[in-house]
Amino acid sequence: MPSTRPFDVTDRGACLAIFDSNVPAFFDPEERLGYEKFLQERADSCGYLVIERDGKLVGCGGVVVEADGETASLCWGMVENGSHRSGLGRVLTNARLQAVKQQVGVTRVILNTSQHTVNFYRRFGFQTTDIVRNGYGPGLDRCNMALTFRSRKG
């Protein structure tokens, strides 16, 4: 049974290996440097989660509450390539959405992803708001998506 837990700096190498397993189908190689910088500078402070299964790190992803206090962004979500279609992405997304729902005042969740995972996020209620052709690199479109919750009192 997979379990989620907060990211620890010792997870950095395993997270980079997960990223590498998804290049070039889901990430452009040029994105790796940005991901490394994120892991070094922001992962601790943004609620970045990892998924473990049988003692091995197999997925990771985070949530950042934007400055407006009403919007949260799902960031750098990924599952080890050999574990796609095993339910781990659903576990990770549900855990991140639960974390968002704990944030008082947040009514909207945004993310950007490639055309390859748009249908996955649609199952959670996300809708495409914009598409930037080749936005991540050749053949990898950037699809911006949003999910709006009913207004909640804080």
When computed from its CA atoms, the radius of gyration of the chain, rounded to whole angstroms, is 15
Instruction: Please return the burial class of 135, using the count of CB atoms within 10 Å of its CB with bins 0-12, 13-18 and 19+.
Output: middle
What is the pLDDT, as a whole number, of residue 125?
96
> What predicted TM-score, i.e. pTM, was given to this entire model?
0.89
Q: Is 90 left (phi over 0), alpha (psi -120 to 50) or beta?
A: alpha
pLDDT 10s digit of each residue in the chain, 154 long? Answer: 789 999 999 999 999 999 999 999 899 999 999 999 999 999 988 889 999 999 999 999 999 999 999 999 999 999 999 999 899 999 999 999 999 998 889 999 999 999 999 999 999 999 999 999 999 989 999 999 999 986 555 4
- 16 touches 7 (CB < 8 A): no
What is the pLDDT, as a whole number, of residue 50?
96
What is the pLDDT, as a whole number, of residue 151?
55
What is the pLDDT, as a whole number, of residue 2?
87
Q: Which of 43, 23, 39 is nearest to 31 (CA)?
A: 23
